[in-house]
Chains A and B, each alone.
Chain A
Amino acid sequence: MTAPRFSLRGVRKSFGDHLVLDGIDLEINVGEVVTLIGPSGSGKSTLLRCLNLLEPIDDGEILLDGVDISVPGIDPNPVRRRVGMVFQSYNLFPHMSVLDNVTLAPVRVLGQEHSVARERAGVLLERFGLADKAASYPDRLSGGQQQRVAIVRALALEPEILLLDEITSSLDPELVGEVLDVVRELKATGMTLVLATHEMGFARETSDTVCVLDGGRIIERGAPERVFSQPDSARARQFLERVIRSGRL
């Protein structure tokens, strides 16, 4: 039994008076795919941002491979090199070509030579069907292509964990598939993934563990078959029924 990659213990976080995370306990193992679902405002995105140290937590602790990374004042950059993040609205850098978007961090953060970074970026773009877009600027790409570039950009740092924050929520329905294919491929490589999503069918198919969040707490967790078919908590059942009624499962 290897140690969990991430251990969260009693993680609390509030924005002003608003308590967003209310005591989260969670273990994420190496190679596990953990999906966070739940109503808007339940704390899914905030939890992901805390794992990447984009948001400092107020209480509790987050351990990465047994090391506490939630110590106030810790240098976040070594953690971020290991924990990549992809955002709902892509957040590509609009003033840079696709290739420059991808090579920026390897060059500036890892100190790779430009030529090396470009070669590796080229390989990644090729792998995700974006080789012909290397010289394009982000606003010339479709949403699906932009999101795939964002994933490649995060992968260029060769992270051990990838956090995916509702990465299909801004996409036109017909573009969702190409992005989800990328996630399936990442899962196949054995990468540890933590994703927040509204794509319930995908969550059911891909996840090892599903967590239902509500009001900043994990109110249900377990294997997807069980969580989706016979949830223990009434509120999780309610949420899932609403989702089923709206035709998203």
Chain B
Amino acid sequence: MAVADGRRAAWEREKRRRSIAVAAASSLVVVAAIVALVPRMPRWDRVRASFFDGAQFRDSLPRLIDAFWLDVRIFLWCTPAIVALALLVAMARNSRSAALFPLRVISVAYTDVMRGVPIILWIYLIGFGVPGLGIARPWNSPLLWGSVAMVLTYSAYVAEVFRAGIESVHESQRAAARSLGLSHWQSMRHVVLPQAVRRVVPPLMNDMVSLQKDVALVSLIGPIEILRQAGVDKAKFANFTPYIAAAIVFLCVTIPLTRLTDWMIDRERRRTQGTRIG
């Protein structure tokens, strides 16, 4: 790309050099301040012993990673269920015919109610409430109903994402599909949804990153996943280091997922909107 190595390229190099210098200097000041000041706090020694205990970290980590598999499993079975339910809700909300009016009302009420209550409350209400009806094992497991609560709440959010995607497909696409004799549902299935889903993959990934973390909330009603295991270790050894270890395990998964999401958002923007304004 030695096409335009003129005045402008030199100016941009200089600008870039200066902004890197500013960023490096300011980061250095912040890090230096933390390193210099935090150990001077009166009880730093106690905090270091109870949060950053290396031996404790090494002892807990394998147990935490074992427990983390449960988080991964919950995530893996919740995700397809969420996508399927959210698609159904989004399509119900987008239905046109008068006969489906009740379905539209139900789906609007569903998204409003599920999004209007904190997810922790749903986990308590569904996770304790439904097994409390006296359902026989294994259908009374808190793990099952906690997962159901996750699926129900997340589907409400994801349904809104799908709905935005469906509405972003131009009316003329539907007109073309209908003019060819395709029914409403055939147009949806073959023309509208494939385009809608493609467009909402990036925001969808955002929700999946959140879900990956929120899975830990299921621990509140019993299942021993990583957060619960960290709590057990904390109580047993009277040390908070397991929480730090759990946080690191989460970061190992969520950071790559977030980067992947950003990359996909960027790619989608480049594809649809051309070059970015500097």
What residues make up the interface of A, taking CB atoms closer than 8 Å to B? 49, 52, 54, 76-78, 80-81, 84-85, 87, 89, 91-95, 104-105, 108-109, 153-154, 157
B residues with a Cβ closer than 8 A to A are 172-173, 175-183, 186, 190-191, 194-195, 198
CA distance A157 to B191 in the complex (A): 17
Shortest C-beta distance, A162 to chain B (Å), equals 11
16 contacts between A and B (CB under 8 A): A49-B175, A54-B175, A54-B179, A76-B178, A77-B181, A77-B183, A84-B180, A91-B173, A91-B175, A93-B195, A95-B198, A104-B180, A104-B190, A105-B181, A109-B180, A109-B186
Closest to B186 in A: A108
Max chain B Cβ within 10 angstroms of own Cβ: one of A104, A108, A153 = A108
Residue of A nearest to B190 (CB): A104
Residues of B within 8 A of A81 (CB): 181
Minimal Cβ-Cβ distance residue in B for A75 = B183
* Residues of chain A within 8 A of B191, CB atoms compared: 93, 104
Is there contact, CB below 8 Å, between B180 and A157? yes
Are A105 and B182 in touch, CB under 8 angstroms?
yes
B-chain residues with CB within 8 Å of residue A153 when the two chains form the complex = 180
- Min CB distance A94 to B, Å, is 7
The one of A52, A93, A94, A108 that contacts B179, using a Cβ cutoff of 8 Å? A52
State the CA gap A85–B177 with chains docked (Å): 10
Tell me how many residue pairs across A and B have CB atoms closer than 8 Å. 57
Residues of B within 8 Å of A80, CB to CB, are 178-181
Listed residue (A91, A92, A94, A153) with the most chain B CB atoms within 10 angstroms of its CB: A91
* Docked-complex contact B195 and A94, CB < 8 angstroms: yes
Q: With a 10 A CB-CB cut-off, give which of B175, B179, B182, B198 has the most chain A CB atoms.
A: B179
Question: Taking A80-B181, A157-B181 as contacts, is the C-beta distance between A91 and B176 under 8 angstroms?
Answer: yes
Q: Across the interface, name the chain A residue whose C-beta is closest to B194.
A: A95
- In addition to A91-B172, A91-B175, A93-B173, 19 A-B residue pairs with Cβ atoms within 8 Å of each other are A54-B175, A77-B181, A77-B182, A77-B183, A80-B181, A84-B179, A91-B176, A93-B191, A95-B194, A95-B198, A104-B191, A105-B180, A108-B186, A108-B190, A109-B181, A153-B180, A154-B179, A154-B180, A157-B180
B172-A87 in contact (CB<8A) = yes
| A54 touching B178, Cβ below 8 Å | yes
Top 6 closest A-B pairs, CB basis?
Answer: A91-B176, A105-B180, A80-B181, A85-B179, A109-B181, A81-B181
B175→A87 contact, CB < 8 A: yes
In the complex, what distance in Å separates the CA atom of A204 from the CA atom of B26?
74
CA distance A81 to B175 in the complex (A): 14
Q: A93-B191, A95-B194, A95-B195 are in contact. Are A87 and B176 (CB under 8 A)?
A: yes
- Please measure, in the bound complex, the distance between the C-alpha atom of A1 and the C-alpha atom of B177, giving whole angstroms: 35
Question: Among the listed A54, A78, A95, A109, which residue makes an inter-chain contact with B182, where contact means beta carbons less than 8 Å apart?
Answer: A109
Q: How far in angstroms is the closest Cβ of chain B from A186?
A: 17
A105–B195 alpha-carbon span in the complex (Å): 17
Q: In the complex, A87 Cα to B191 Cα: how many Å? A: 16
A95 CA / B177 CA spacing, docked (Å): 13
Q: How far is the CB of A127 from chain B (nearest CB, A)?
A: 19
Distance A101 CA – B155 CA, assembled complex (angstroms) = 32
Interface centre among B175, B180, B195 (most CB of A within 10 A): B180
Nearest chain-B residue to A104 (Cβ)? B190
CB-CB under 8 A from B183, the residues of chain A are: 77
- Give the residues in chain A near B181, CB-CB below 8 Å: 77-78, 80-81, 105, 109, 157
- Chain A residues lying within 8 Å of B178, measured Cβ to Cβ, are 54, 76, 80
CA distance in complex: A109, B183 (Å): 8
Q: Taking the nearest CB of chain A, how far is it from the CB of B172, in angstroms? A: 5
- Which residues of the other chain, B, contact A93 by a CB distance below 8 angstroms? 173, 176-177, 190-191, 195
Q: Which residues of A contact B194 (CB under 8 A)?
A: 95
Are A108 and B182 neighbours in the complex by a CB distance under 8 Å?
A: yes
CB pair B182–A104 under 8 Å, yes or no, is: yes
* A79 to B, closest residue via Cβ: B181
Task: Determine the distance from Cα of A84 to Cα of B176 in the docked complex, in whole angstroms.
Answer: 10
Measured CB to CB, the nearest residue on chain A to B170 is A91
Chain B nearest CB from A161 CB (Å) reads 12
* Chain B residues with CB below 8 A from A78, complex form: 181
Chain B residues with Cβ below 8 Å from A104 are 180, 182, 190-191
Q: Closest approach, in angstroms, between the C-beta of A56 and any C-beta of chain B? A: 12
